[in-house]
Structures are given as C-alpha cells and as structure tokens.
A and B are shown apart, each in its own frame.
Chain A
Amino acid sequence: MKKMDKITVIIPVHELNDTTQELFEKSLISVKNQIKKADDVMVVIPDNDVLAKYLDEVSDKLKIKLNVAINKGESDFSTQLNYGVSKTETKYFTFLEYDDELMPMHISNAKKYINNYEDVSLFLPLIVNRTPEGKSYGLSNEPVWANEFSDKLGELDTECLLRYSDFNMDGMIMSKEKYIALGGLKPSIELTFPYEFLLRVTHNEDRVMVIPKFGYIHTILREGSIFSEYKKTLSIDEQRWWLSLAKKEYLYKEDREIRYEK
C-alpha cells in the first residue's frame, strides 16, 4: 500500500481576545479529534509575546503539540497563510480559520483523496456553514457535484468559476510546492482573494476537486471576523469592484499594488 503523504494544519491567528480564545480552543480540539491525526499543527502569529505565551498555555491545557511560527511581517490573512506554507515541512497542508472547526474525518479524507487522485492539485472540502449562534446555514462548495454544473462532475473549472463565484477555500488541501509555484494568496486583494486564487489555479489548468464529504464547519459573519468587517466597511460598489478585479488579476501570478478608487 502506498505510504500516505503528510499534512500540516496551518492556523493563521493575528490576535485573540476572551471570546475568540474560546473559539480558537474549539478549533484546536477539532484538530485534536481528527480520526487520522495531522502530522503537524502550525499556528502562525505576528511577533506578539502575549499571544506566544497564551499558545504555550493552551498547548499544555489541551495537550496538543503546537508548532508556533512567528511572522514578523504584515499580519493580514493572506500574508500569514503564505508565511505558514513557506515554513511547512510536510508535503501537503490544509488551513483552518481560528474560529472554525474541522470535521473529524477531514485529514483522513484528505489523505485518502490525495492518494487516489494524484493528478488533482487542490482539494476543497464540503463546508457546513453555521451562524455564530450555531444555526445551520447551508453548505458551500457543493454545486460542482450537481449534474452538468461544471465540465467534470465534482471539479471546478475556470468557466464555472467565472459564472459562479461563491466557493470557499477554507480547509483546502494542497501541496506546498504547488501553492508556492502558483504564487500563493495575494495580500493586495481584499475581500475576493480566495476567489482570485481559485481562478488562478484553474486557469493554470490545475485540477480542483471538491471532496464530497463534510470536512469543515465555517461560522459565517461572526462579529469581528475578516469578512464581517469587509461587509461592514466596504460599499456595495467596492465589493463589486473587488469581484471584478479578481476576474482580471487571476491571469497573473505576481501580486501588485492595488487600491480601490471610486
């Protein structure tokens, strides 16, 4: 039997308060409860002693070994994730937002699919969305399994992404090498950086498959989360502008200075 490739779970964190600490600990517990364990759990933080100390304590408290990567640069999500991937020592990685959770079979299914679909560059899980109050709020990434939604059942392609942008890359599984080769996330792109990345992957003719199993639990529009802040601070016009920008920028691997102007 082929040896299973190793996977790191990367959790980018830029700050934690009492509320978000509680959510973060639930995240860690979901990593700990994986049926097949992650080979490494990396928390990426800015240069912050308080946060580093907290991570030591929580690692002891929950009895989970954490590999803490301190990013002295910008602390936006994209930069944090790019940094985490660059420091990863396993072939594959997945990432977890600190206020979300992994379903118990996420790593197990990731390894199974990596093993059986060697030509697929990026796997996305089926995401179960819920409100901060815990109410169910539908799924994400499932449309590719609908008949004739995309060219190949279960897989994303550029054409369907350009028609339908509502895909979520949370919990994605990819090889470090491929992620870096494609240029990673672009910190200059606000709001639609995950969408732009997915377009860039498919445009490069890399296969993107949605694993048809519940892999990730996402809390939508939690007060204080990056996307809830975007929704609050960005006008509708600006949101549309970022969407339109993503549909142009994906043709280029390199990031560039971008600023919204009315």
Chain B
Amino acid sequence: MDKKTENINKITSELENKDFNIYYFTIDTKGNPNGGVANQYDHVKMLTELGYNAHILHDKEKYTSVEDWLGEDYSNLSHKPTKNLNVNPSDVIIVPEVFPTVMEQLSKFPCKKIVLSQSYSYIFELLGIGKSWNYDYGFDEVITTSEKQLNYIENHFPGIEGSIIEPVISDLFKKPKGDIKEPTVGIVARDQSDVLKIVKSFYLQYPMYKWITFKDMRGLSKAEFAEQTNNNCLSIWVDRISSFGTFPLESMKSNTPIIGVIPDMIPDWMLSNEVIDDGLVLEDNGIWTENILNIPSLISDYMKLWLEDTLPEIIFDKMAETSSNYTYDGQKNKLGEYYQEMTNKRIESFKNILKDEKNG
C-alpha cells in the first residue's frame, strides 16, 4: 500500500472512531467573565460528553483558570497550549471571528478549519482589506449563532459553508423560590456610559423610585450572575451590536422581564412570524425600544405595574416560550449532529480521493 493511501486510511479511521482532536482557540480573559468564551467552553464540554477529544486551545503557556467564573466543570476540561502543538489532518481547529491573524498562521495547517462567529461586529476589526476567511486562510466553514448573522457572513464570504448553533441558556437561570422577585433591576450594557445615563436619568425624573436598586452585573461569576438575574424583578439591556442576545434570553428563563434597545441586527427570537404592511413585528417576549432615551420612562411604567402586580400575563408566556428553545441538551444534540455530519462529509471526501486515485 502506498504512503498516500496509508495516510488517508489512517485519517478516515481516526474520523470514524472519533479519534481526532477538536481544538477551540480561546483567549485568556484573565478571570473576567465573557459570554463568547463561555459559549466556547460549552461547546468543548458538550463535545467531551459526546465522546470527542475536545480541547480549549490557548496561546499562553500560563492560562488563567476559568474556575472562579465558570466553575470546576469547565476549568477541568482539557486545555492545550499552542506551543509545540501537533495537529493531524483529521483534527479540527475552530477560531473565533476576531482572530484573522491566527487564521493566517493556521492557513497552512493540514486540518479542518472552522470559524466560530459569535459577534459580526468583530469580523472586520482585524481582517485585512480584501482578505477572506475561506479563500485566503482555508477556513471553509463557519459556525454562527443566528440566521441573520449567517446571511451577513455568506454575503461577505461567498462559498463558505455555514451552520447555526445557538448558545446554551444555562439551567442556572430559573424562577427563584416561590417566584418571588426583589425590587432590584439588573442592567447590562456594552457601553458603561449608557448604564450611568439610564440610572441617573431615571432617579432624577422619577424620584418616588429612588429606592429602587440598580445592580451592575459586570464581573460576576456565572453562578452569581444567574442568581442575581433570577432575583431581579427587571432586566435592562443595551447592546446595539449584539448578534444573538444571550442576556435577554437568560432573563426570560429567570422569568425576569426585560426592557431593551433593539440591536442593529435584530435577533431571530425577537421577531414574530407575523408581518404587518411589509413591516416586521416584534414578539411580546420583552419591552423593546429603538431609543435609549425611552428607557427611564419604560422602567417607571413597568415598576408601577410590577408593584401593583398587574403585569400582563402574555409577557411571561412569551418569555417562557422563547427561552425554552436553548436548553443544554437541545444544543448538545444540535452540536453533536453538526459534528457528525461534518465528520461524515470529511470521511466521504477522503474516500473519494482514494476512489479517484484508483480510477486513475
């Protein structure tokens, strides 16, 4: 048997037996919670449970543990440094959209290369003008988190193969005991100055509510964040460049209604199937506005209804319906199906090479 056939047989065997590695290139957040990184860890955890050799790949020898903010279940997953890494042709490397320099470094690697695009707004931050993930770096597939983001990517990288796997909304987010909430408001904003704007404006315009506490949700571990969200009576979300909207979904799962600014790329879950006069209709799963300046008055209106216990039930029904779509088991199945299909295609592709060789 010639060397090429031997190598290809070895690769297909590794693929068939799940004897290949899947590496998720991950930045070191130095102990700071980060939604995108959390999602990568979820992928590695799910794949490990599905019997794959999945690893967090990091470029620093000394990588800060995620135990403090994600917990032991995640810090105990396999971690590998890039230094002296041996990558086989059967292996898979996944690189976030924000690292085109890493993609370029890996472009000659003889393995399967996939982009994980969680935030469309980062795609062009470091990507050279005219450069393309697939044509220049060999990243011919992308995993992303929504239809809209996939369309956006396909428009810019024609020929790339895309799949949608949404993040998991953890079971840590749930109704508190007795579904009793506190009059506290959790606020998450990409730009911290928006937080100050909203809170200060609210207290000045509505001094009868100056006793309502706003909770800054930054820097909390996943468990602390979930507990606080579960207990809050309201969540506020301002992130115009959000691609998916994890926090609103977490809030919905906690049975905590959300007031939010509609992002530039409207999340799939925010849109109803209804269309009125060619216009999009938003779901009643939250209180949505295009203008951040409306938020203080929306908070005031909401708090009055909450304090009186007269909030409309439809919001809670819709919240439960929306957030039920992103369970750990559901997304694990999706991820498993994706990797199985991708692996099968690769096996077929390698076998076709041999077939073609044989047929001359």
Contact = CB atoms under 8 A, between A and B. Distances in A.
A125 to B, nearest CB: 11
Contacts of A109: 309
Contacts of B73: none
A210 B213 CA distance: 15
Nearest to A214: B307
B30 interface: no
Interface in A20-67: none
B10 to A, nearest CB: 61
A224 interface: no
Contacts of B264: none
Contacts of A105: 308-309
Contacts of A126: 307
Counting chain A CB atoms within 10 Å of each CB, the highest count among B182, B213, B309 belongs to B309
Given A113-B180, A153-B182, A142 B211 contact: yes
A138 interface: yes
A145 interface: yes
A200 to B, nearest CB: 25
B307 A116 contact: no
Contact of B213 (A112, A113, A115, A146): A146
A161 interface: no
B208 A146 contact: no
A84 interface: no
Interface string A169-211: 0000000000000000000000000000000000000000000
Interface string A148-164: 01000110000000000
A233 interface: no
Nearest to A146: B211
Contact of B180 (A112, A138, A147): A112
A108 B177 CA distance: 16
Contact of B182 (A112, A116, A212): A212
Counting chain A CB atoms within 10 Å of each CB, the highest count among B182, B210, B211 belongs to B211
Contacts of B208: 138-139
Given A105-B309, A126-B307, A143 B211 contact: yes
Given A126-B307, A213-B309, A214-B308, A112 B178 contact: yes
A124 interface: no
B81 interface: no
A153 B309 CA distance: 20
Contacts of B233: 212
A138 to B, nearest CB: 6
A103 B308 contact: yes
Given A115-B178, A116-B178, A139-B208, A212 B183 contact: yes
A116 B180 CA distance: 8
A116 B177 CA distance: 7
B86 to A, nearest CB: 54
Nearest to A212: B183
Contact of A213 (B184, B211, B307): B307
A145 B308 contact: no
A146 B309 contact: no
Contacts of B211: 142-143, 145-146, 149
Nearest to A138: B208
A146 B182 CA distance: 11
B196 interface: no
A199 B309 CA distance: 30
B293 interface: no
A124 B208 CA distance: 19
Nearest to B307: A214
Nearest to B231: A153
Interface string B206-234: 00101111000000000000000000010
Interface string B154-178: 0000000000000000000000011
Contacts of B184: 145, 153
Given A126-B307, A214-B308, A145 B177 contact: no
Nearest to A103: B308
B305 to A, nearest CB: 10
B310 to A, nearest CB: 9
Interface in B175-191: 177-178, 180, 182-184
A145 B309 contact: no
A153 B307 contact: no
Contacts of B183: 145, 212
Top 4 nearest A-B pairs (CB, nearest first) are A116-B178, A146-B211, A212-B183, A105-B309
Interface of B: 177-178, 180, 182-184, 208, 210-213, 233, 307-309
15 contacts: A103-B308, A104-B309, A105-B308, A108-B309, A115-B178, A116-B177, A116-B180, A142-B211, A145-B182, A145-B211, A146-B210, A154-B182, A213-B307, A214-B307, A214-B309
Given A109-B309, A116-B177, A142-B211, 20 more contacts: A103-B308, A104-B309, A105-B308, A108-B309, A112-B178, A116-B178, A143-B211, A145-B182, A145-B184, A145-B212, A145-B213, A146-B210, A149-B211, A153-B184, A212-B182, A212-B233, A213-B307, A213-B309, A214-B307, A214-B309
